[in-house]
Amino acid sequence: MLKSPGKIDLLVLAGLSLSLFVYHILTSTLSSYGYFIDEFYYIACSKHLALGYVDHPPMSVFLLALSRLLFGDSIPALRVFPALAASATVYMTGLTVRRLGGSRMALVIAALAVIAVPVYLLMGSFYSMNAFEPLIWMSILYCIIRLVQEEDPRYWLVVGVLMGIGLETKHTMAVYAAALIAGMVLTKARRLLWNRWLVLGVLACFILLLPNLIWQYASGFPSVEFYRNAMVNKNVPRGPVNVVLDQILFANPLALPLWITGLFFFFVAQDARKLRFLGWAYIVLLILMVLSQSSRPDRIAAMYTVLFAGGAVAIDKLERPLMLRLVRAAMIVVVVGGAIVVAPVATPLLPPPALRNYLSAIGFSFSIERGKMNEPIPQWLADRLGWRELAVDVAQVYRSLPAEEQKNTVIVSTNYGEAGALELYGADFGLPRVYATHNSYHLWGPPPDSIKTYIGVFVDGADLAKRFESVVEAAVHTCDDCTRPQRRIPIYVARGPKFSISKEWPKFKIYD
């Protein structure tokens, strides 16, 4: 069953991985889309390095700080690390195929399938913690597979380190770990659970996670509040059938036969009898998705890498040479065809007018968040539009104020996207300091009570009217191709606060 990759295998894998990296960098460089809304927030977080943040652990922020130091803040530079992570995920999948006993052609099929997964293409196309999850999880599974194949419990220490890094990158990695343990308990692999190396792995994981746990405790566990609010107020509930259909859609519908074959491979193939737990781990994850009614298909997306690997290896088991060649050729055609179809949907390839026509032609529509449902352009692309133009509009309002008033003016928002965009573009347009009540921005504190003029962007005008002596709608920013919340944003000038901002600030907290 075990096969070590040769030099040609590694070269083939490197070529496939590099092609994906180049694709992401080119689309980021040449497309008409700008920063994604979350990227502004991550950049802001990287200017406030800490052991934790309201809505994510610190690892991805520290990586971004390093990225900005090495490459700068341009859009292509910002996406070097996500593109590298996506490419490395392809590479690790190929190595896993060889560990499972697959041929070079199986390696190519699995690698192409991973390249063609819409949700992976999406994750690699902008900076966020999600970009690193498939790579970390695929690396963990590779070590687990070696642990089981070689019956060497020392791999638990490596797994513990990787899981600690994963949890410092994204808290919900714990769900994958729980599913993996459940899968092992349900199979004969459970005998590899009870040993001192597992204890050492758990200890290593805990040590790596401890800084964030200390920060959470000291800050009152804000992430718990964030996850609860996001589940209730942000994500769109989905029925069981839709949850399953979302998985098929975001894992590439044309690749369905491959990963289903992989699932059966882990359950029934004699060569995979030691790895039954991988099939059960996926079933556990899918059940959790159905029970939670999650509208986020990416929540278990990292598991498809190993299913593609298993499916590609299963195809190798076909005994008739002609049938084997036909199935291999057909699989390459469908996964590459699927990549061509989904690439414009998942990545910034087509400009908005052309994208609208394309989505209409293929009948694509998908909703993840409340308030951004059934958009003509998917939220993950529409939220890359209009930000610099917003900064221009706010700058015009700011410059319209008397020079003396400008010295005592700040910008405030209730959304980290608007706040982050205005902060990033602030140097270009001479904007004042930006404050916000959303997530970690709220932790960074209020403006001084001495401030008498506020420019409100993405705020409730009626609420301002209750709290200030004078409120004027000075301008309105519009963006026809943006998501609904960003299509029309009034820009207010509020003067004479009738309250103490420092005392009232805790009440303005928005964690979602």
Residue with tokens 């590439």: 252
Number of domains the chain contains? 2
Residues in the chain: 512
In this structure, is residue 380 part of a structural domain? no
**What is the full DSSP assignment across 5-67?**
--HHHHHHHHHHHHHHHHHHHHHHHHSS----HHHHHHHHHHTS--S-BTTB-SHHHHHHHHH
Positive or negative: CA dihedral 17, 21, 24, 26: negative
Could you tell me if 335 and 434 lie in one domain? Answer: no
Could you tell me if 102 and 240 lie in one domain? Answer: yes
Residue that finishes a domain, picked among 311, 335, 355: 355
Cβ–Cβ under 8 Å, residues 414 and 460: yes
Both tokens assigned to 336: 């590459």
Could you tell me if 348 and 398 lie in one domain? Answer: no
Could you tell me if 229 and 299 lie in one domain? Answer: yes
In this structure, is residue 164 part of a structural domain? yes
- At 251 the pLDDT is 86
Range of the domain at 115: 7-355
d(CA 75, CA 126): 9
Could you tell me if 49 and 97 lie in one domain? Answer: yes
Could you tell me if 426 and 342 lie in one domain? Answer: no
- At 204 the pLDDT is 97
Confidence (pTM): 0.92
Both tokens assigned to 234: 């942000």
Mean pLDDT in order along the chain per 10 residues (512 residues):
72 94 96 96 97 96 98 96 97 95 93 94 95 96 96 96 97 94 94 94 97 96 90 72 86 91 94 94 93 79 95 87 85 88 92 91 67 74 96 97 96 97 96 97 96 96 95 96 91 96 95 92
Could you tell me if 295 and 443 lie in one domain? Answer: no
- At 291 the pLDDT is 87
In this structure, is residue 248 part of a structural domain? yes
Both tokens assigned to 249: 């859609």
In this structure, is residue 438 part of a structural domain? yes
d(CA 202, CA 206): 6
In this structure, is residue 370 part of a structural domain? no
Could you tell me if 462 and 397 lie in one domain? Answer: yes
- At 238 the pLDDT is 76
Both tokens assigned to 424: 């990033």
Could you tell me if 337 and 399 lie in one domain? Answer: no
Positive or negative: CA dihedral 422, 429, 389, 354: negative
d(CA 158, CA 239): 38
Both tokens assigned to 413: 């928002």
- At 234 the pLDDT is 63
- At 372 the pLDDT is 54
In this structure, is residue 381 part of a structural domain? no
| Complete edge-to-edge strand list for the sheet that includes strand 453-457 | 434-436, 409-413, 453-457, 488-497, 468-478
Could you tell me if 498 and 402 lie in one domain? Answer: yes
CB atoms < 10 A from the CB of 362, how many?
11
- At 297 the pLDDT is 77
Could you tell me if 449 and 317 lie in one domain? Answer: no
Could you tell me if 391 and 277 lie in one domain? Answer: no
- At 235 the pLDDT is 62
Helix/strand/coil for 293: coil
- At 243 the pLDDT is 84
In this structure, is residue 1 part of a structural domain? no
